[in-house]
Amino acid sequence: MAQCPYCGKAAGFLRKCHKQCKQTYVSGEQRIVSLVSEVTDRAGDLSQLESKIQHIAEHSYIDNTALQTLVAAGWGKVVEDAFDDGVVTRQEEDFLAEIANHFGLSSEMLDRARARTRLVKGAVLRDILEGELPHRINIEGNLPFNLQKTEEIVWVFQNVDYYEVKTKSHFVGGSRGVSVKIAKGVYYRTGSFKGERVQVSETVHTDTGLMGITNKHIYFSGSVARFRIRYEKIVSFESYEDGIGLQRDAASAKPQSFVTGDGWFTYNLVTNLAQM
């Protein structure tokens, strides 16, 4: 006979758990996430919060490992709510750091749903909007970008797909020509022609690589394409769900696009840096 994974007692014939135990566990999970997600609104005391959620955990069959996961989920909910109101404020950022430190939540745990990364992105945008150059990322190793004097890296996107618009030509309605017999051994050949030239533009995946965003340029470095684009040379930006498109100020320039995985952040990052 199986044991109930919640209370540890016999679950009963052909049962994996007690229905009531499972309901208690699920209810406890929801209450803990809710308490953590609401704490910033009340500016509540973290020691008091910890006492409450420990009490719920003890009476809901929730162990310490699961408890930390639930606190991290509540922390992520706070981040979501902060973005619903706009860019995360410094007060919200500081209090989120306070919660993480108090409960010993690791960066990996906080970023399981990309919540920590989203918080950092929000803080980067807030710094730029306030006229400050962000210094919120740590670069390990050397980047393949030749930065200019007074130029600083603000963000680096990895595994970015780079696309270019290319024009291809082909001919429609051509003729190979024919040979007409006029007399024995004498032939007349009509001329051949290629027909009408048609040009077709298509977006082509060119390379995959690193995309660096600085206070002066957009850099890209892949196995085939390597270049930088100065903000002043960009005439328009286009926001996509998963990236950004741009058009440079040159007669021969064609649209370029970059798939970063986060179009909202990429667009706001480069357009606001271009205005600094």
pLDDT, block means (10 residues), the chain with 276 residues:
90 90 96 88 76 95 94 92 81 89 92 88 94 89 92 96 82 59 60 63 91 97 96 96 94 92 95 94
Query: What's the pLDDT at 170?
Result: 59
Angle at 148 between CA 164 and CA 125, to 5 degrees: 70
- Please give the Cα distance from 254 to 112 (Å, whole number): 38
Domains of the chain in sequence order: 19-129 (no CATH), 153-167+199-275 (2.30.29.30)
| Separation between Cα atoms, residue 22 and residue 54, nearest integer Å | 18
Position 100 scores a pLDDT of: 92
| pTM flag (> 0.85) | no
**What is the structure's pLDDT at 248?**
94
User: What Å distances lie between residue 238 and 49, 153, 186, 215, 250, CA to CA?
Assistant: 45, 22, 65, 19, 17
Distances (CA, A) of 90 to 97, 111, 127, 215: 11, 20, 10, 22
Amino acid letter, residue 72: A
CA distance 132 to 126: 9
Q: What is the pLDDT of residue 173?
A: 59
* CA proximity to 31, closest of 3, 65, 58: 58
Gap between the Cα atoms of 79 and 39, Å rounded: 12
First CA to last CA distance, the chain? 69
3-state secondary structure of 134: coil
How high is the pLDDT of residue 166?
81
